[in-house]
Amino acid sequence: MKLRVQYTAQLRAVVGRAEEVVELSEGGNLAELLNLLADSHSTARPHLVTEVGQVRPSLLIVVNDSAVSAREAAKTVLYSDDIVTLLPPIAGG
Amino acid sequence: MRDLPELTPDERGRYEWQLSVRDFGEEGQRRLKNATVLVSRIGGVGGSAAMQLAAAGIGRLILVHAGNVRLNDLNRQLLMTTDWIGKPRVESAVRRLHELNPHVEIETVAENVNDSNVADLVSRCDVVVSAAPLFSERLLMNREAVRQQKPLVDSAMYELEGRLTTIIADQTPCLSCLYPEPPPNWKREFPVFAAVASTVGSLAAMEVIKLIAGVGEPLASRMLTFDLRDMTFRTVPIARQPDCPVCGA
Ligand SMILES: [Zn+2]
């Protein structure tokens, strides 16, 4: 199935684009998606997952219109055409 | 209303154009006059928030920011002036704010928020604007504001993007709910135009005015995110984390 992934802030800078369409296997979850993205964008990996492949706790994730915390990522099943927005923490003042 | 300070004729004239704002009026203005707002760092975001709050007639501002004005502050820190390079930022800020509104009482602290000053600073204000460029300062301010049950408006930006949320103890998620670990790769020097920083700062000031005057709906349990590159604004619901070390039950 195809999903839309949107990158913001520093993630957009390291990935080099604001948005992409990603192929994820049917029934895949949010944690799997983030590991897939970390594999395909190695410079973005530290923003997305920890050294042991867990979703980075400080990453804000919005699936369609709902925020999903990192700990819920493995339980969050994704569906075709979902829009996943990734918001790394920012503190510019 | 009886406990609120009266407006002088000069103040009534100065604020004439905002006294007609729906649900605000003279009582709202007197609430602002009675209030103290703490602004953590008066750079691009916090400086603009302070400017808006001074214009609106906040009674007292506590401005917290270390260091002297540098040349490369001037693309965004609108309270700083070219002739003040090498001199304390907070002094430049007081001068600018008093040029705009001499009625505002301003206390300056020429250091950044730290473990030893944060409790006292928060205890002396009604609302906090948190706009430091370091997560450590923001998380410290969040912890203290939650502990002392003072509303905090967290306002942040990066490049052409901004984010804002209003944190109210026991009601909304706090900053540690959102960022349970210090982010691993935040860089102190971030890309910024003043136009973006000022947008975030102005939105933060509006939240503060609303909270103090009791106008409208605060940005509670919601995060505003915007991207001025394509002018998209969205508000996302955010949730408390039950095991949050700062606000968890
Ligand atoms: Zn919390």
Return d(Cα B245, Cα B249) in angstroms, integer.
9
CATH homologous superfamily for the domain A2-87: Beta-grasp domain (3.10.20.30)
Whether the predicted pLDDT of B185 surpasses 80: no
Residue B49's CB is within 10 A of a number of other CB atoms, namely: 32
Interface contact A51, partner B, CB < 8 A: no
Model pLDDT for residues B136-159, shown as the tens digit of each residue? 999 999 999 999 999 999 999 999
Cα distances from B184 to residues A38, A45, B124, B173, in angstroms, run: 15, 11, 33, 21
Task: Please identify which residue in the block is written with the tokens 């154009």.
Answer: B17
Protein residues within 5 Å, CB atom, of ion ligand 1 = B 174, 176-177, 244, 246-247
The Å distance, Cα B169 to ligand 1 centre, comes to 9
Interface contact A13, partner B, CB < 8 A: yes
Query: What pLDDT was estimated at residue B71?
Result: 98
Q: What is the ipTM of this complex?
A: 0.94
b/e for B117-136, b at 16 or more Cβ within 10 A?
A: ebeebbeebbbbbbbbbbbe
Interface contact B43, partner A, CB < 8 A: yes
Query: What pLDDT was estimated at residue B60?
Result: 98
Return d(Cα A19, Cα A3) in angstroms, integer.
10
Query: What pLDDT was estimated at residue B189?
Result: 86
Beta bridge partners of B192: B159
Q: Is A53 helix (H, G, I), strand (E, B) or coil?
A: coil
Handedness of CA B13, B14, B17, B18 (dihedral sign): negative
Q: Are strands B60-64 and B36-40 parallel, antiparallel or unpaired?
A: parallel
- Please state the rounded mean pLDDT for residues B54-82: 98
User: Which chain B residues are closer than 8 Å to A93 by Cβ?
Assistant: 41, 43-46, 131-133, 155-157, 197
Return d(Cα B61, Cα B38) in angstroms, integer.
6
The Å distance, Cα A89 to ligand 1 centre, comes to 15
Q: What residues does each domain of chain B span?
A: 9-237
Mention every residue, 6+ apart, whose C-beta is less than 8 A from residue A54: A31, A70
Count chain A–chain B contacts defined by CB atoms under 8 A: 86
Note which residues in 54-93 of chain A have CB less than 8 A from chain B: 56-58, 60, 62, 65-67, 69, 87-93
Q: Is A47 helix (H, G, I), strand (E, B) or coil?
A: helix
Tokens of B170: 């026991």
Do B236 and A67 lie within an 8 Å CB cutoff? Answer: yes
We find that the CATH architecture of domain B9-237 is 3-Layer(aba) Sandwich (3.40)
The Å distance, Cα A64 to ligand 1 centre, comes to 23
Claim: this prediction has a pTM higher than 0.80: yes
Query: What pLDDT was estimated at residue A34?
Result: 98
Do B186 and A89 lie within an 8 Å CB cutoff? Answer: yes
Model pLDDT for residues A25-61, shown as the tens digit of each residue? 999 999 999 999 999 999 999 999 999 999 999 999 9
